[in-house]
Amino acid sequence: MPRLHHLLLPALALLFLVIYDVCLADLYVYEGMVGINLDIDFWIIFAVTMFIILLVFPSRIERPSDMFLFFYLLISVLWGTVFWGGTGLIDAGEQPLFFAVTIMPVFFVLGVRALLARHVNGLIVPVVLASSAWLPYVLAFLLIISGLAAAGTIGGGSFDWQEMYVRRLASRGAYDGHMLAGYATNMGTNGILPILGFVAGYRRSPLLLGMAAIFVMMMFFLLGLKSPAINFVALAGLGFCFRYPGLRRNLVPITLATILVVYAGALLAFLRSGDTFLADYLVRRISMVQPQVQSYYFDYWMNRDSAAALIAAANQSFSDTTFEIGYLYLHNPLTNANTNGFIYALARGGFASYVISMLGVALILAAIDALAEKTRGFELFAVAALFSILVSEQAWTTVLMTSGIALCLALVMLFSYPSGTRAATSS
């Protein structure tokens, strides 16, 4: 029987297509964006790729890996069903391979979950120090440390919206020679903040929400960062939904319907007054940037020789492949063009690196599922969701270490009683 998301997912993709066609294509023609050719090939590709997505899209969130699949499909796969031709770099003949590259991690996660979950479960032994009631205090303390590290390194900033990219570029130089401050800021911004947001939403704590909101404003003031606000709101809303069984059971359709309403509002605002703010700063960030940059990486990989496409080393002329992509496709060597960690691994290290990244992520998710089964750590769902969001922009190893997912995973494990116990134990 069809479920609600079977209607919402195609509706979201097509609504984004309309917003792009009437608003965003003209705004970003200077980046090489082109109109989408809505011929018979387009509609066949849309129908086939959407059918495959619907086959694997989780209808309910029952374990943390479901949360990863939900966000990964929503962020890194869905929008490519309509936008694959938006950069003019991928034609109809190449699109099936492009789609396969982006969705293959989903099948790796599902395969490991089906074949190896029992073995991984037997290897996972949670070490628990105290009740989860202590977790918010630990997260809040670490967030304060992160804020102090950022303030002490940057010194000052501005709330000027137009100058946020200037502040972002300036911050890279400010952290030179301050490695520990850089790690503390990254972990606080990308890891600790969203998990604290989830806990605050679940506990309905105005104090924790207010503290996290102050940190979000600090990061925009000092570093010109918008993504912490998006991740914080997403995880806080997720935590609120997890508190109520009815909302949690219907988390998938509620999230999709909310995005649909926001997108419809963005389209209506543009049609009524020509206002592009929501379309440009929200719809574009969520739905257009990901397939746009993924197409750059895919084109880069496709144009390597056959040996480099299998196993390759990074170009030593650039500090990272992200800057090489920024130089080649956006014509700015200072542009750090991040994309999802899997296609990044493919472009940087070839097919072998791509497979290793998928296997590594799948095994980590199997471990998180096992921890969730053995402890009361409902926050593990938040860790899996955040892991997925960050993997859409960074290498999986960077997400684990630099962005603090490994730290958050350890904290959630340490501050949660195992199921069926009433005292802190180590097992």
**Domain interval for residue 192:** 132-243
Q: How far apart are CA 420 and CA 417, in angstroms?
A: 8
At residue 426, does pLDDT exceed 60?
Answer: no
Q: Specify if 149 maps to a domain.
A: yes
Does 159 lie in the same domain as 107?
A: no
DSSP, residue by residue, 26-78: HHTGGGT------SHHHHHHHHHHHHHHHHHS-SS--SHHHHHHHHHIIIIIT
Which pLDDT value is given to residue 423? 39
Which pLDDT value is given to residue 161? 77
> Which of 242, 231, 220 is CA-nearest to residue 193?
231
Does 201 lie in the same domain as 94?
A: no
Which pLDDT value is given to residue 143? 95
DSSP, residue by residue, 143-172: HHHHHHHHHHHH------GGGHHHHHHHHH
Distance of CA 295 to the CA centre of its chain: 17
> Which of 378, 408, 377 is CA-nearest to residue 390?
408
Helix axes 405-414, 193-203, angle to 10 degrees: 40
The residue behind tokens 């120090």 is 129
Q: Which amino acid is at 230?
A: I
Does 217 lie in the same domain as 273?
A: no
Does 79 lie in the same domain as 51?
A: yes
Does 160 lie in the same domain as 226?
A: yes
Q: Specify if 57 maps to a domain.
A: yes
> Residues 338, 393: contact at Cβ < 8 Å?
yes
What average pLDDT does the segment 190-201 reach?
A: 94
What's the token pair of residue 396? Answer: 């999986």
Is the pTM above the cut of 0.85?
yes
Q: Which amino acid is at 37?
A: N
Does 258 lie in the same domain as 171?
A: no
Does 221 lie in the same domain as 145?
A: yes
pLDDT tens digit sequence for 92-144 = 999 999 999 999 999 999 999 999 878 888 888 888 888 888 999 999 999 99
At residue 1, does pLDDT exceed 50?
Answer: no
Q: What is the tally of structural domains in the chain?
A: 2
Does 187 lie in the same domain as 163?
A: yes
Does 23 lie in the same domain as 93?
A: yes
Does 108 lie in the same domain as 186?
A: no
At residue 420, does pLDDT exceed 70?
Answer: no
DSSP, residue by residue, 226-240: -HHHHHHHHHHHHHH
Q: Specify if 361 maps to a domain.
A: no
pLDDT tens digit sequence for 38-86 = 999 999 999 999 999 999 999 999 999 999 999 999 999 999 999 999 9
Q: Specify if 390 maps to a domain.
A: no
CB neighbour list of residue 31: distance below 8 Å, 6 or more residues apart:
292, 330
Q: How far apart are CA 258 and CA 266, in angstroms?
A: 12
> Which of 47, 49, 4 is CA-nearest to residue 252?
4
Q: Which amino acid is at 203?
A: R
> Which of 340, 346, 342 is CA-nearest to residue 293?
340
Q: Give the pLDDT band (50/70/90) at residue 294.
A: very high
Which pLDDT value is given to residue 319? 74
**Of 190, 212, 243, at which residue does a domain stop?**
243
Q: Specify if 125 maps to a domain.
A: no
At residue 418, does pLDDT exceed 60?
Answer: no
Q: How far apart are CA 69 and CA 48, in angstroms?
A: 19
**Of 243, 272, 303, at which residue does a domain stop?**
243
Count Cβ neighbours within 10 Å for each residue of 86-120 and write b for 16 or more, e otherwise: bbebbeeebbeebbebbbebbebbeebbeeebeeb
At residue 422, does pLDDT exceed 50?
Answer: no
Which pLDDT value is given to residue 130? 83
pLDDT tens digit sequence for 162-182 = 777 778 777 777 787 788 888
Does 30 lie in the same domain as 3?
A: yes
pLDDT tens digit sequence for 313-369 = 566 667 788 999 999 999 888 788 889 999 999 998 888 999 999 999 999 999 999
At residue 227, does pLDDT exceed 50?
Answer: yes
Which pLDDT value is given to residue 309? 57
Q: How far apart are CA 298 and CA 85, in angstroms?
A: 12
Q: Give the pLDDT band (50/70/90) at residue 157.
A: confident
Average pLDDT of the chain, as a whole number: 89
What average pLDDT does the segment 414-422 reach?
A: 62
Task: Give the containing element (helix H, strand E) for 200.
Answer: helix 193-203
Does 90 lie in the same domain as 34?
A: yes
> Which of 192, 112, 108, 95 is CA-nearest to residue 149?
192
Which pLDDT value is given to residue 308? 55
Q: What is the DSSP letter of 402?
A: T
Q: Specify if 323 maps to a domain.
A: no
Q: Specify if 345 maps to a domain.
A: no
Q: Specify if 366 maps to a domain.
A: no
> Residues 145, 188: contact at Cβ < 8 Å?
yes
